[in-house]
Structure 1
Amino acid sequence: MTLFETLKSRCAAEWEAYTRHDFVEQLGAGTLPLPVFQDYLIQDFHFLVQFARANALATYKSRTLADLTAAHAATGAILAETELHLGLTERWGIPRAELEAAPEKQATVAYTRYVLDAGMVGTVLDLSVALAPCTIGYAEIGAALAPRLSDPAAHDASGEHPYAEWISEYSGRRSPPPRTRRSLSSTRSQSVVCPIPGWMSSPRCSARPHDWRPTSGSRRSTQNSWRRFALARSMSSSPRPESTVRRE
């Protein structure tokens, strides 16, 4: 069993709830209401800003040229990923200034600041593991939803999947339907391969190219960090005043 499989097994219930969430299922079926998707995408834009900060922090924490190069590439991939969000929101008539000014919701703040905190107080390995639920999860979800692109039952009146652009982005399929291809830029056409056997490529799956073989001490740290992800996820869905969440 790989390290990633071990980590996933330690929070199997949370992982299943995350990757098979009703939002994901409706997205794949093409039945997700557009206002719900729009609200998600605006929050995901804010998430990507913080995710880019976290990868930039990994650059600072890196000690070797190989790690510096990998972290720098990951930061660039995340920044390029925001083009999907900027393109879609522009089409919806949301100016960039309005998008950037939209408030972050509690769940967005809870997870992103947890990731940054893990990186600030820990090592590059701690930070990588804190980032992993997103990088691996999006790749898994994208791969699982990819077959729905050719499923007529998931198509809208125009004969296309309403969320083809998003699914294409995260499944690693770089040739979306003609209606959506116009908004995909050449910078996002570059494949960022996740070196995890059996998982698809996606921009957010930008783990380090070298093999993860932590020592027994650092392995314990990664397992604890993964458990903290599960805790952070449960906290983000619990009723808590917005004012109590740090937003640095």
Structure 2
Amino acid sequence: MSNFDILRDDVKDLWDKYIRHEFVIKMKEGTLPLDSFKYYMIQDTKYVNIMLKSLLNASSKAPLNKITNILNAIFNTRDKGLEIEKEILEKLNIDDAAIENTGYNLVNYAYTRHLYYNSTIGWDYFLASWAPCMIGYSFVGKFVKGSPNEIYDLWASFYGSKDYENRVETIIDALDDIKLNDGIKNVFRNSVNFEIMFWEAALRKDPTIFK
């Protein structure tokens, strides 16, 4: 059993709620209101910016072979991901100014600070905080693929792809090299909770007040 399996099984009910959240199911069905998805895309873009900074900060503390594999898997497929993101943002009429002029909601603000904080503690803790997002989106993407909504199907075409699965495999491999303890498990659990709250904030379209 991999460390990921152990971590996921430790929070099984939360994990299932995350990857089969109402937001995700509505994407699959094509019934999610576009304004909720537009809200999500803006917040997700802001999240990714801090997430990448946190990854680069933690990378100096990581085993060289593991971080090399992860960074190669991410940056070798980043163009494809950016191409799809650009197409979605254009379809939703979201430009750079809209993203820059929108603040973080409370969940996103807390989640990104959680990631960055753990990147300062060490590679193991950052990896545990980051894994739920990266691995979970592979599950979500494969589930949402085939949505009758063109935009949601396009979004899922990347997260449900083999290229994205390659990213996930390098992260699961890196997780197997860390020693699990209660602190690591708590960090993983907190990130799964943040992922659930991220969906919920998008459904509610929470106020965005944190610049």
TM-score bracket for this pair, using the shorter chain length: 0.7 to 0.9
Compared with structure 1, are the counterparts of its residues 169 and 127 closer, same or farther at alpha carbon in structure 2 (3 Å cutoff)?
same
Structure 1 gaps, min length 5: 174-189, 197-205
Equivalent-residue separation in structure 1 for 2:12 and 2:172 (angstroms): 24
Q: How many residues align?
A: 204
Match of 1:105 in 2: 105
Name the % identity. Answer: 23
SS of the residue 1:219 aligns to: coil
Distance apart, 1:234 and its partner CA: 7.7
Match of 1:222 in 2: 184
Match of 1:166 in 2: 155
Pairwise CA RMSD = 3.1
Are the aligned partners of 1:11 and 1:227 in contact in 2 as well (CA < 8 Å)?
Answer: yes
2:86 is the counterpart of 1:124: no
2:193 is the counterpart of 1:193: no
Structure (1 or 2) with the larger CA radius of gyration: 1
SS of the residue 2:176 aligns to: coil
Which of 148, 162, 167 matches 1:155? 148
Match of 1:213 in 2: 177
SS of the residue 2:171 aligns to: coil
Distance apart, 1:167 and its partner CA: 1.2
Over residues 43-82 of structure 1, what are the superposed CA-to-partner deviations in whole Å (9 max), with x where a residue is unaligned?
1111111111122113222353x24423533663686434
Equivalent-residue separation in structure 1 for 2:55 and 2:157 (angstroms): 23
Compared with structure 1, are the counterparts of its residues 234 and 210 closer, same or farther at alpha carbon in structure 2 (3 Å cutoff)?
closer
Amino acid at match of 1:168: S
Report which structure shows greater RCO (CA 8 Å, sep ≥6): 2
Aligned counterparts, 1:1-150, within 5 A: 1-64=1-64, 66-73=65-72, 76=75, 80=79, 81-121=81-121, 123-146=122-145, 149=146
Distance apart, 1:192 and its partner CA: 5.8
Are the aligned partners of 1:118 and 1:127 in contact in 2 as well (CA < 8 Å)?
Answer: yes
Distance apart, 1:29 and its partner CA: 0.6
Compared with structure 1, are the counterparts of its residues 19 and 63 closer, same or farther at alpha carbon in structure 2 (3 Å cutoff)?
closer
Are the aligned partners of 2:23 and 2:32 in contact in 1 as well (CA < 8 Å)?
Answer: yes
* TM-score normalised by the chain length of structure 2: 0.80
